[in-house]
Structure 1
Amino acid sequence: MKKNEGKKGIFSPIKTSKIPDEVYKQIVSMISSGQLKPGQKLPPEREMASDLGISRQSIREALYRAETMGLIEVRQGEGSFVLSSVLECLKSPLTVLLEEEAERIFEFLEVRKLIEGWCAEKASTEATAEDLKKMGEILAKMESIGLADEEWEKVDVEFHLSIAAATHNVIAMHIMDALKDTFNAFFRFRQVITKPDKKGLILQHHNEIFEAISQRDPLLAKRRIVGHLDFIEKKIKEDMEKMQT
């Protein structure tokens, strides 16, 4: 008799091309309904994959998303635990909107171009030597060999925030800080920025943006950061089109 034969898991089999998204929705639903309670340990990845009939990689992606949203905590060597109820989870309304209406990511990117274009332009005239040093240190960190996807995402956001900080405009800094949790929350966005063949290009873009700011060239800095976000937008569109074919 097989190990899981006759045993009914708490998850329902997945029948869709967007597997990690569906697993995540089941997790949210079970936490929302109280089937999974704060402090409760989720089944092991292997068991969840068996119950759902999918790969462990899809389970990991769904768990990572739930962790990013503050719903669960993944403890090394112990497993995944529910942190809070959905209502208690302090999740950005913007993040929720992007989850429900994926196409809104392009509107979000339009706004980012406006805000970050201005920030890059302003930073080119206002950045101090300390600001430039900070940006350089972040880029050096991004160049680290073997940087894991999760850490890469954090450092990517850190670079964009460092540009806002270099404007010395408190409002701009607060706006960017408020948006930071939404930057990479969208699954398709994270897929683009963490692909091995894209990391090199993204790092190149960042270095070019930094170079323009260091050279005190506002128009070039603005053009380069908008071009960087145009590139991200193009790749997300390509990925979404592939999913629809």
Structure 2
Amino acid sequence: MNEFTDFKTYKMKNQKTYQYVFDYFSEQILSGELKINDKILPEREIAEKLDVSRNSIREVMHMLEINGLLECRQGSGNYLRCEPQDYMVKFMNMVMSLQQIKYTEVYDIRMGYETVALRLAIKNATEEEIEEMHQILIKMDEIENPKESGKLDMQFHNKLIEASHNRMIVLYTSMIAELMNQFIADFRVRIMANQRQAEALRRAHWNIYDSLVAKDFVAGSFAMQRHFDIVGEQLERLQQQMENQGK
């Protein structure tokens, strides 16, 4: 009994057909048998190999296509790809909505991975990326509209994430981008309403940028912490308001 026969015998027990087919593709990818841009066998050959209907193969391949792992090229066939961001963003948004993820939870996770992103960006950011962040800050200083300023704030932090050159951080950020961007926009508007905090937040952003230029993580971590302290103050106020309204 060869390796595939062992896999087939094991997987076919107490398992729905589509799960069996999905596991076959999963095993192919995880083992390295299938790589990005590899052409997938025709449906008929896979169906014969797995001893299942072509409809079952088509169902799973359609699911993989929706998930961004398969590309159907007209007249050429199906190819493996790895562009799951759109699907993952929608999926994560639904999960976070169903689980009623709170801003406090967004705040906690953001503090963690943005500090790591800063450390990596100090090491990996290109001159072009640092200059792009510089131009964003200049525009932020020129724009008085809180909503427009909030969009630039999001761009600044997204550029910092990209400058880390860590694909896992970039991927994770893209998964929760909608909620994270809403978080930044909401609190940017609240902070800009307070002149003292608005100025402190402006300085914190510029200090983060300066730390990238100087490649100084100690200074950068202080600036990042100051940034989150300002956001945290607004978060505490928001929580207090919600508690008062609930009384």
- Bin for the TM-score computed over the shorter chain: 0.5 to 0.7
CA distance 1:155–1:188, change in 2 (3 Å): closer
1:164 maps onto 2:161 in alignment:
yes
Q: Work out whether residues 146 and 189 of structure 2, in 8 Å CA contact, stay in contact via their aligned partners in 1.
A: no
Measure, in 2, the Cα distance between the counterparts of 1:244 and 1:96: 21
Letter in 1 for 2:111: K
Q: Tell me the residue number matched to 1:201.
A: 200
Letter in 2 for 1:229: F
Q: Tell me the residue number matched to 2:147.
A: 150
Q: Tell me the residue number matched to 1:123.
A: 121
Q: Tell me the residue number matched to 1:229.
A: 228
What is the identity percentage for the equivalent residue pairs of Structure 1 and Structure 2?
22
Measure, in 2, the Cα distance between the counterparts of 1:136 and 1:189: 22
Q: Tell me the residue number matched to 1:181.
A: 178
**What is the correspondence of 1:1-245 to structure 2 with a 5 Å cutoff?**
90=90, 92-93=93-94, 96=97, 100=100, 104-146=102-144, 148-186=145-183, 189-195=187-193, 197=195, 198-245=197-244
- Count of residues in correspondence between the two structures: 153
CA distance 1:188–1:154, change in 2 (3 Å): closer
CA distance 1:97–1:138, change in 2 (3 Å): farther
Measure, in 2, the Cα distance between the counterparts of 1:138 and 1:162: 9
CA distance 1:190–1:221, change in 2 (3 Å): closer
More helix by share: 2
Q: How far did 1:150 drift?
A: 2.3
Q: How far did 1:108 drift?
A: 1.6
CA distance 1:168–1:214, change in 2 (3 Å): same
Q: Work out whether residues 106 and 180 of structure 2, in 8 Å CA contact, stay in contact via their aligned partners in 1.
A: no
CA distance 1:115–1:162, change in 2 (3 Å): same
Secondary structure of 1:143's aligned partner: helix
**Which one has a bigger Cα radius of gyration?**
2
Q: Work out whether residues 124 and 212 of structure 1, in 8 Å CA contact, stay in contact via their aligned partners in 2.
A: yes
Unaligned regions of 5+ residues in structure 1, if any? Answer: 1-89
Q: Work out whether residues 201 and 230 of structure 2, in 8 Å CA contact, stay in contact via their aligned partners in 1.
A: no
Q: How far did 1:243 drift?
A: 4.6
Q: Write the deviation string for residues 30-88 of structure 1: whole angstroms up to 9, x where unpaired.
A: xxxxxxxxxxxxxxxxxxxxxxxxxxxxxxxxxxxxxxxxxxxxxxxxxxxxxxxxxxx
Q: How far did 1:134 drift?
A: 0.6
Q: How far did 1:242 drift?
A: 3.8
Q: How far did 1:123 drift?
A: 0.7
Letter in 2 for 1:132: I
Q: Work out whether residues 120 and 221 of structure 1, in 8 Å CA contact, stay in contact via their aligned partners in 2.
A: yes
Q: Work out whether residues 122 and 218 of structure 1, in 8 Å CA contact, stay in contact via their aligned partners in 2.
A: no
CA distance 1:135–1:188, change in 2 (3 Å): closer
Unaligned regions of 5+ residues in structure 2, if any? Answer: 1-89
Task: Choose between structure 1 and 2 for higher RCO, CA contacts under 8 A separated by at least 6 residues.
Answer: 1
Alignment TM-score, normalising by the size of structure 1: 0.55
Q: Work out whether residues 118 and 222 of structure 1, in 8 Å CA contact, stay in contact via their aligned partners in 2.
A: no
Secondary structure of 1:168's aligned partner: coil
Q: Work out whether residues 150 and 189 of structure 2, in 8 Å CA contact, stay in contact via their aligned partners in 1.
A: no
Q: How far did 1:174 drift?
A: 2.1
Measure, in 1, the Cα distance between the counterparts of 2:186 and 2:166: 31
Q: How far did 1:184 drift?
A: 4.2
